[in-house]
Structure 1
Amino acid sequence: MDLYYSPGSAPCRAVLMTAQCVGIDLNKKLLNLLAGDHMKPDFLKINPQHTIPTLVDNDFVLWESRAIMIYLVEQYAKTDSLYSKCPETRARINQRLYFDMDLTQAFGKYFYGPMMKKTPFDPEARKHLEKQLEMLNKLLGGNNFAIGDSLTLADLSLLATVTTLDVASTAKSANVDIKKYPNIKKWYDYMKAVTPGYKENYEGSLELKKFLD
């Protein structure tokens, strides 16, 4: 099973952590986005939308990280602990996954310009990001897990995003600190200790440092 990915990508790292939790090995195929690997004809034949992560499982091709995560669990997991079959629990997991999409977008609007184009940080974009972090802090509510009493896909997707935020916030003039949100800090510290694949997730996030001041 092939996974086209880049270690600096939070969505890619969320898929890698999911695979570790499920207990499957992925054949990782590194794409250099800055070199345009994702726009080469061979990759476009696989994924005309030219996005990562992209999973190839025999003749089945899938992109979008959260769709891949759900597929890996439903196809290969021995239990439903990561993605409960209970409709209410699954709906709550889905809600957090959709929320994480908003958080990722808020991160991108604030950080990508300064990181990739060396433009100044936008105070309005920071306010929006902080509102999303305040909401995450509220949703976590001091619990160890995003949903219920065990690790789910919601945790894995959010963990990849928050790890990226943690690393990116070291940039000069970023003025974002996830540690000031007590529920996020408590959850994040717990995730570091219990999540399979966290070390690889963190090491991958350090790729962002080459773009930071």
Structure 2
Amino acid sequence: MKLYFHPASTTSRIVLLFAAEEGIELKPEVVDILSGAHLSGSFPSVNPKRLVPALEDDGFIVSESAAILRYLAAKTGSAAYPTDLRERARVDEMVDYLNSDFYRDWGYNLIYPQLFPHHKRDSDAAQQCTVHWGQERVRNGLAYLDSVLASRRHLAGDKLTIADYFGAGILSAGELIRVDLTQYPNLNRWYESMRALPSWPRVSEALEGFKGMLKDTPFVSIP
């Protein structure tokens, strides 16, 4: 199986971490999104949405990191995606919440408008309103996740699942704008347990490099 990805991509790192921890062998194909390689050449024929990651398995292509996680877990029989219908529904419920409701505000209303010029709003007033709206919504989301983890070891129960890999990858983007999770003790405990996974340092090398580049940049964050 071939994975088209970029190491700085949040959603790519989700898949890379899961595959590394599960021992799933993937042939890596870096798509240099920083130079626009995802917009031209052969990649649009792989993923017409022109986004990474994308997985190719013997001519069958899957895009979207959550779908890729489910595909890899089901294909390999991973315990991280339980076969019990109710347990699987809890996993899917959390992945879908993180991927839609939470990520919309976390990524596209708080983090990315402050990091990337193509996400910045057209006026200073619009930018400020977007970021502060995202900040307030994110606080609600973080409080919700903290409450969930008050009675669970992991996001979907007491076992490590693809919801944890997905959630940890999404949460890791907050390190770029220096989000402080210590005010959410249950969430912070869980996130630190994910950061302690053996493969995390290698998968997160690009994230750490990006953080270093931004160390003196002021951000609206979650203090």
> What's the TM-score bracket when you normalise by the shorter of the two chains?
0.7 to 0.9
Alignment gaps of 5+ in structure 2: 218-223
Residues 129-183 of structure 1: CA deviation (Å, up to 9, x unaligned): 1111111111222532112222100110001111221x2232xxxxx42221111
Matches within 5 A, 1:107-146: 107-108=106-107, 109-117=109-117, 122-146=131-155
Following TM superposition, by how much is the alpha carbon of 1:66 offset from its aligned partner in structure 2, in angstroms?
A: 0.7
State the partner residue of 1:35: 35
Name the % identity: 28
Residues 5-34 of structure 1: CA deviation (Å, up to 9, x unaligned): 111222111111221233222121112212
Matches within 5 A, 1:10-159: 10-77=10-77, 80-101=78-99, 102-108=101-107, 109-117=109-117, 122-159=131-168
Counterparts of 1:93 and 1:134, CA distance in 2? 19
Following TM superposition, by how much is the alpha carbon of 1:36 offset from its aligned partner in structure 2, in angstroms?
A: 0.8
Report the TM-score, using the length of structure 2 for normalisation: 0.84
Q: Which amino acid aligns with 1:81?
A: A
State the partner residue of 1:185: 188
State the partner residue of 2:208: 206
Q: Contact 1:8–1:206 (CA<8 Å) still a contact in 2?
A: no
Counterparts of 2:20 and 2:134, CA distance in 1? 34
Counterparts of 1:114 and 1:149, CA distance in 2? 35
Following TM superposition, by how much is the alpha carbon of 1:206 offset from its aligned partner in structure 2, in angstroms?
A: 2.3
Counterparts of 2:6 and 2:159, CA distance in 1? 28
Quick one: structure 1 residues 208 and 129, their matched pair in 2 at CA, closer, same or farther if it must change by over 3 Å? farther
Count residues in correspondence.
204
Alignment gaps of 5+ in structure 1: 171-175
| SS of corresponding position for 2:74 | helix
Quick one: structure 1 residues 131 and 201, their matched pair in 2 at CA, closer, same or farther if it must change by over 3 Å? farther
Q: Which amino acid aligns with 1:128?
A: R
Residues 52-84 of structure 1: CA deviation (Å, up to 9, x unaligned): 10011121111000110111111123xx41000
Comparing 111-120 and 179-188, the one that deviates more: 111-120
**TM-align CA RMSD:** 1.9
Are residues 1:161 and 2:170 paired?
yes
Q: Contact 2:176–2:214 (CA<8 Å) still a contact in 1?
A: no
| SS of corresponding position for 2:38 | helix
State the partner residue of 2:220: none
Counterparts of 2:20 and 2:180, CA distance in 1? 29
Q: Contact 1:22–1:72 (CA<8 Å) still a contact in 2?
A: no
Following TM superposition, by how much is the alpha carbon of 1:196 offset from its aligned partner in structure 2, in angstroms?
A: 4.6
Q: Which amino acid aligns with 1:13?
A: R
State the partner residue of 1:173: none
